Amino acid sequence: MQTTFLFTILFYVLSAGGYISYLIVQRKQLHRMASYILLIGFLMHCAWLTLAYSAAGHMPVGNLSETLSFCAWAVAAVFLIFQYKYNIKILGAYAAPMLALLMLAAFILPPKTVADPKLLQKLWLSIHITTIFLGDAAMALACGAGILYLVQERAIKSKKPGYFFKRLPSLELLDNGGYACIVTGFTLLTIGLITGLISAKLYWGRFWSWDVKEVWSALAWIFYAVLLHERLTVGWRGRRSALMAIIGFGVLIFTFLGVNLLLKGHHSQFTL
């Protein structure tokens, strides 16, 4: 099991190297290689999750190490689908290093189980966790597309094309790609929040307890809801949409880690 984990890390790191070299030297073969390596890494990761699940009898998200690993798995899954669908090749130079770092962090952190294993066996909670993480992953990619959008926009507006102009795709593609990520992410987050409410009712006895975690999650959800609403009604796109995607992801990260580590909400046991 440990070997599978190590191999997953190795493949993610190699893939990150491949994507970054692709950014620098722009060879198609490098991109193809990097995506295949990433795919192998992802399959390894799936294998590890299955092994960990059967060993513990519940989803392996009982501590910070496992949570980060699960997070990486979600990002890899969403990225692979997204790459297949939108073909923004350069986004790999953002996603793959992120995966590699998440996994390395997961590897370094101590693997002690803190969360109540009984709780983790519950079905509603499993759905809640999976959808929330996949949603977060989609938003992470939206943030990446937003960053690339701002870089490319700056290159075009400043009238000095430079290094990134040639290497980054068109603004339209980045904007559409980011939007698709946000729509996907928002859908998943919504499902995640609803199942979260249901779980809270089932296992803790009430839907809503004004916990900091809940409040921040709701804030993040509203933030994205506003973003989508504005895009659909008045056509908020481009720069503004990209900035919102980046800020939104910042709120999500804070909800995920900041709240648990700094404010000690009722989810803290998952990230200790």
Partner 1 sequence: MSEIILLGLNHTTAPVELRECLAFTTDDTERAVVQLADNPAVEEVVLFSTCNRIEVLLVAKDPGKAVELSKSFLSEFKQVPVNDFNIATYVHCGDEAVGHVFRVAASLDSMMLGEPQILGQIKEAYRTASEKRTSGVILNRLMHRAFFTAKRIRNETGIGDNAVSISYAAVQLGRKIFGTLENKAVLLLGAGEMAELAVEHLVRHHVGRVFVANRTFERGVTLAAKYKGQAIRFEEVKEHLSQVDIIISSTGATDFVIRRDDIKAVRRRRRNRSLFFIDIAVPRDIDPDINRLENAYVYDIDDLQGVIDENIEDRQREAVKAQRIVDEAVIRFRRWHDSLDVVPTIVALRDKVSGIAAVEVDKRIKSMDHLSAADHDAIRNMVNAMVNKILHDPTQFLKKGSCQGDKSIPLDITRKLFKLDP
Contact residues for partner 1 (CB under 8 A)?
152, 156-157, 159-162, 165-166, 169-173, 234-240
Rank residues 18 and 169 by Cβ distance to partner 1 and give the closer one: 169
**Residue holding tokens 């939206």?**
142
169 or 185: whose CB is closer to partner 1?
169
Task: With beta carbons less than 8 A apart as the criterion, state whether 230 and 236 touch.
Answer: yes
* Angular region, 206: left φ>0, alpha ψ -120 to 50, beta rest: beta
CB of 235 to partner 1, least distance (A): 3
Least distance from partner 1 to the Cβ atom of residue 164, Å? 10
- What is the smallest separation between the CB atom of 87 and partner 1, expressed in angstroms? 11
Residue 144 DSSP class: H
Minimum CB distance to partner 1 smaller for 157 or for 206: 157
**Nearest of 101, 94, 187 to residue 143 by alpha carbon:** 94
Please report the sign of the dihedral spanned by the C-alpha atoms of residue 124, residue 128, residue 131, residue 134.
negative
In this structure, which long-range contacts are made by residues 29-33, counting pairs with CB atoms below 8 Å and at least 24 apart in sequence? 31/89, 31/92
Closer residue to partner 1 in complex, CB, 122/237: 237
Whole-number Å distance between alpha carbons of 216 and 251: 8
159 versus 206: smaller Cβ distance to partner 1: 159
Smallest distance from the beta carbon of 241 to partner 1, in angstroms?
Answer: 9
Helix axes of 28-56 and 92-108: crossing angle, nearest 10 degrees: 30
**26-34, long-range: CB < 8 A, 24+ apart:** 26/166, 26/167, 31/89, 31/92, 34/92, 34/96
Nearer to partner 1, 117 or 161 (CB): 161
Question: Least separation, in Å, of the C-beta of 239 and partner 1?
Answer: 5
Q: Least Å distance between CB 18 and partner 1? A: 19
